[in-house]
Structure 1
Amino acid sequence: MKEKRLRVLQLGKFYPIKGGVEKVMYDLTTGFAERFSHKVICDMMCADGEKGSRTIHLGGNARLICCRTLWKVAATMISPSMIHTLKKECRNYDIIHVHHPDPMACIALFLSGYKGKVVLHWHSDIQKQKMLLKFYQPLQEWLLKRADLILGTSPVYLAESPCLQSVQGKTRCLPIGVEPMRPQAERVAAIREKYPCKKIVFSLGRLVAYKGYEYLIEAARFLDDDYVLLIGGTGPLKAELDEKIKMLGLEGKVVLLGRVSDEDLPAYYGACELFCLSSVQKTEAFGIVQIEAMSCGKPIVATTIPQSGVAWVNAHGQSGLNVAPESGRELAEAIRAIAGDEVVYSGYSRRAELRYRSLFTKERMIENLLDIYHNLWKEQK
């Protein structure tokens, strides 16, 4: 008799993929389809902000179920279609895996009448939308109680989030994992030719306040002229950061690259000496860019943001160095401490890649989650 396959639905956020939470959902869905389709049927349901309701077949029997969005409020997609679709589809799943923060997903689950197991993936607390949180708080409390298991991306965030203090007994850490970056030699060489004889410090992210790019720009003042800082990404602070670079006379020493394409991104990781994550707020809960850089053997300079998992991802003294947020001078000192000596640098580089391979591969994330799912499934059989 053929063994029954576990059926799981990843629920939350939106499509196309624009951020870390959606990327994790998509990687889990495709990861199970690629490696464990004989054991698990894993679908993904989300709000679609562009093309409306549709179903995309991903291979390995996996489906991406997109629900039409009417409008977007406070970074939340309003999708009545998700409520209707989940109510119709939920009975087909043994486990629904909800990715937080996403009030729309929570509302849809609440109204669905679903009776099976729920995994809550707590990527971060709601930080910016304080008014939204006031209205959402009762539903958030319901979701925390409803969840059979709560996953966090780092032990630090799980232990220190004020929202999770009353549910510590059902939390478990599942670090994010990614495919390794594979830089192409010719693309790496082309980037290095643009900055000959320079030690490249690379950073990547939206140009928004919590990323702390103003402090990374200030760090350039304390670095010798053999360093160049490349910052990839777009966002509302572009003009303000450009002005700061000009005001400090750092043109050519700090370069805002704009959007870095998926094709070019591995090459920037490959071309740099190290990666710097200068974020200053808990909104930066993990920093997937850190593990992407580590996969290329690149050391990390990051910040010790209170209650954030960033400094756990970058193990201080092993894969890189962590410094206090909002200090350009400390960022510069850490950059020099790593990149200023070839022997020291080689040690950090080796340990960064080792930390990636031991903790942050996509394969490890998928395998660990498969064990979690099966343990939950056994409980309800």
Structure 2
Amino acid sequence: MRILEVSKLYPPFWGGIETVVYDISTVLKQKDYDVDVLCVSESNHSSREVMDNVNVYRCSSIVHMASTYISFEFIKVWRSIRNNYDVIHVHLPNPLALLAIFLFRPRRGCKIIVHWHSDIIKQKFLKIPFIPLQNSLLSNCDKIIATSQVYANSSLDLKKYLNKVAIIPIGIDDKRMSIDVDRIKKIKNSYPGKLIVFSLGRHVYYKGFDYLIDAAKYLDDNYIIIIGGQGQLTSSLNEKISKYDLSKRVKLIGRINEEDVSSYFYAADIFCLPSIERSEAYGVVQLEAMACGTPIISTDISGSGVSWVNKHGVTGLVVKNKNPQELAKGIKYLSAHPFEKEHIQKYFMENYTRTKMVDCLIEVIKSA
């Protein structure tokens, strides 16, 4: 069986969707499926390369705006290779892929599987011209994969197509979160005597870091909140920390090297995902915390899968959305009532490995 994974980008760009596409492609290849990836390059150069035994077509782009790439090369390559496959697995949102598939349909008999990662929430103006293309694909595809039933049920885009929806939770590589004892010790020693609350993500509006910083007002100096990542709101977050004199309780540490990420999860007593909008459709970063046995505090976002992933009372706590006092209350509770790391890791292994995700995908493909 020949499978084409259609993605916006692909590693070494490690975005959320790109990581899922990488994990799916890698495991499918390990299971002896013939897998290629079609994606856009962040540069103006096209290439065809092999990454971890997977053939990757990277297509040059000419414009990048509002999280969307314009690439004539992508459409050209799609047209030339689309009929070589038994399965087209397209990951959305991706307006460029919608256009390419609308212009040049795959051959008759080829199965089309849509992987619906999230609705377009913020750039709704961008979505309007692509709605007919999106509806065409959803009408003609064989199956639609959603990452949680909660998200699928709340999606207006999927409302007419729920009969096609199959639920496959995102999984990650259980071996990715390696233990570096010296690095973990160094992180802990940087904050002696402190209970470490770790958070990680792009500094953008829907991540809710404003609320996590506000939560520090209700904690004492025995707690330290470490926020990794960077983004358009980094400056304003730093200003807020200074304005409320919270520098002893909140640290923005910038981008964390990939090899150091797991050490921060292991060093942390609590991981907090304070996201506030459905743009956070799933919260893959919660799986990384689970793999390390770190209890999670997440928020109850209406229509999002975040609180479905973090099972309240099993892997952590789910608290009210946009509520700093509730975040602080949850942090205090977990510090006084720590969860067993082994129980969290066991739940992760039973539900959220990438191998389990791909096994479910194969079943969906076979049944489509």
**What's the TM-score bracket when you normalise by the shorter of the two chains?**
over 0.9
Runs of 4+ in 1 over 3 A off after TM superposition: none
On the 8 A contact 1:69/1:78 being kept in 2, the answer is yes
Distance in 2, matches of 1:269 and 1:251, equals: 21
Any idea what SS the aligned residue of 2:13 has?
coil
Match of 2:141 among 144, 147, 150: 147
Identity of aligned residues (%): 39
Structure 2's unaligned 5+ residue stretches are none
On the 8 A contact 1:183/1:269 being kept in 2, the answer is no
Match of 1:198 among 194, 197, 201: 194
What is residue 117 of structure 1 aligned with on the other side? 111
Distance in 1, matches of 2:202 and 2:190, equals: 23
What is residue 168 of structure 2 aligned with on the other side? 174
What is residue 251 of structure 1 aligned with on the other side? 247
What is residue 296 of structure 2 aligned with on the other side? 300
Q: Tell me the matched-pair count.
A: 363
Q: 1:168 Cα deviation (Å)? A: 0.8
AA of the residue aligned to 1:251 = S
Distance in 2, matches of 1:218 and 1:74, equals: 29
AA of the residue aligned to 1:17 = F
What is residue 158 of structure 1 aligned with on the other side? 152
Q: 1:162 Cα deviation (Å)? A: 1.2
Offset from partner CA, 1:326-376 (integer Å, 9 cap, x none) = 1110001011111223xxx134x3432222111111111122112222333
**Aligned-residue CA RMSD (Å):** 1.2
Offset from partner CA, 1:26-67 (integer Å, 9 cap, x none) = 11111212x212xx111110011125211111244x201111
Match of 1:105 among 94, 97, 104: 97
Distance in 2, matches of 1:294 and 1:55, equals: 36
Q: 1:95 Cα deviation (Å)? A: 0.6
Distance in 2, matches of 1:252 and 1:47, equals: 43
Any idea what SS the aligned residue of 2:220 has?
coil
Q: Does 1:371 align with 2:363?
A: yes
What is residue 184 of structure 1 aligned with on the other side? 180
Any idea what SS the aligned residue of 1:113 has?
coil
TM-score by length of 1: 0.93
Bigger mean CA offset, 23-32 vs 265-274: 23-32
What is residue 3 of structure 1 aligned with on the other side? none
What is residue 59 of structure 2 aligned with on the other side? 67
AA of the residue aligned to 1:94 = D
What is residue 217 of structure 1 aligned with on the other side? 213
Q: 1:23 Cα deviation (Å)? A: 1.0
Q: Does 1:323 align with 2:323?
A: no
Structure 1's unaligned 5+ residue stretches are 1-5, 377-381
Distance in 2, matches of 1:202 and 1:231, equals: 6
Offset from partner CA, 1:246-271 (integer Å, 9 cap, x none) = 11111121000100000111110010
What is residue 289 of structure 1 aligned with on the other side? 285
On the 8 A contact 1:314/1:321 being kept in 2, the answer is yes
Match of 1:43 among 31, 36, 41: 36
On the 8 A contact 1:119/1:151 being kept in 2, the answer is yes
Distance in 2, matches of 1:12 and 1:44, equals: 7
Distance in 2, matches of 1:18 and 1:136, equals: 26
On the 8 A contact 1:95/1:119 being kept in 2, the answer is yes
On the 8 A contact 2:216/2:246 being kept in 1, the answer is yes
